[in-house]
Amino acid sequence: MLGAGGLVGAGWEIGVIRGLGDAGIDLCGADLIVGSSAGAVVGVQLAAGTAGPEELYERQVGDEATEPAVRLGASAFLRYAWAVLTSRTPEAYGRALGRLALGARTVDEAVRRETVARRLGTATAWPARPLRITAVEARSGELAVFDADSGVPLVDAVTASCAVPGAWPPATIGGRRYLDGGLHSTANAHLAAGYERVVVLAPSALGTKVLASPARQGAELTASGALVEVVTPDAASRAALGRKALDPAHRAAAARAGRAQAGAHAERIAALWTG
């Protein structure tokens, strides 16, 4: 389970995966990969197998060209806060931010899709390995899950999953508009229900009265009988991630912090993954 967290969060996730690899743990062989927002990009790269964790990590800490930084304005932050305060369900929260997204001035939708396609590189078709990508329908606020059987092109699914309200335009799929998959919950770990062993990498540990935190979702999976390890940023990783999730300048530091943090979780994850 790969959670939301912007470009910087994606770097942290790749760093954690690389660090676990240092300890001999290969998460790429998972029976299912679920990605939300940043996690959707990382999930595609892992499932496609076009580059291993080592290469993906080097891209994060190198000088590879990437898109410019994007910042949400103060008014958008207030709309997010108001949506949390006034919503009683994840769907209501999604609808509130859907209204923000549908009325926001952003780059053209086709331009945004091209940016996501470049980020995915050669991984433009659904991989053979089971992969699910989340998004939120802008008008209903309901969670959508795309996979190889959904009929949705992979690039469109990822573009939808990464459509941060106020920063990027909603993605149009089948006449509907879709938003960032992390709006339903930052990890959407509940989608792992039924699996015996679950590893959750969540750049954001956020939980509110409306949105379930990764820790809460992990506890619910544990209560159902699964073996679960939830990894969220430690103090050093939080400092590296900072407050600018959409600024690629922080990506390298986040990746290094994730790799360093992985050692603290390696023993438990190894026991879960191979036990």
The catalytically annotated residue of 37, 204, 213, 237 is 37
- Tokens, residue 100: 């923000």
| pLDDT: which is higher, 65 or 247 | 247
Classify residue 69 by its DSSP letter: P
- Spatial neighbors of 162 by CB under 8 A, at least 6 apart, are 37, 38, 40, 41, 116, 168, 180
For residue 63, what pLDDT band results from cuts at 50, 70 and 90?
Answer: low
pLDDT tens string 13-55: 999 999 999 999 999 989 999 999 999 999 999 999 888 999 9
* C-alpha span between 171 and 156 (Å, rounded): 7
Is 224 an annotated catalytic residue? no
Mean pLDDT rounded to a whole number for the chain: 94
Decide: 98 and 165 in contact? Cβ < 8 Å.
yes
- CA dist 197 and 186 (Å) reads 20
CB distance 32 to 214 below 8 Å = no
Active site residue 180: yes
Task: List the structure tokens of 90.
Answer: 């994840």
Report how far residue 132's alpha carbon sits from residue 235's, in angstroms, rounded to the nearest whole number: 30
Q: Side-chain half-sphere of 159: how many Cα atoms within 13 Å?
A: 24
Helix (H) or strand (E) holding 215: helix 214-223
Question: Each residue of 165-215: pLDDT tens digit?
Answer: 999 999 999 999 999 999 999 999 999 999 999 999 999 999 999 999 999
Length of the chain: 275
DSSP 208: -
For residue 67, what pLDDT is reported? 72
Per-residue pLDDT of 214-245, as tens digits, reads 999 999 999 999 999 999 999 999 999 998 88
Question: Range with the lowest mean pLDDT among 55-69, 122-136, 193-207?
Answer: 55-69
Query: Residues 6 or more apart from 121 whose CB is under 8 A from it?
Result: 45, 50, 51
Angle CA(42)–CA(47)–CA(53) in degrees, nearest 5?
60
| Cβ-contact 149, 155 below 8 angstroms | no
Of 87, 156, 180, 185, catalytic: 180
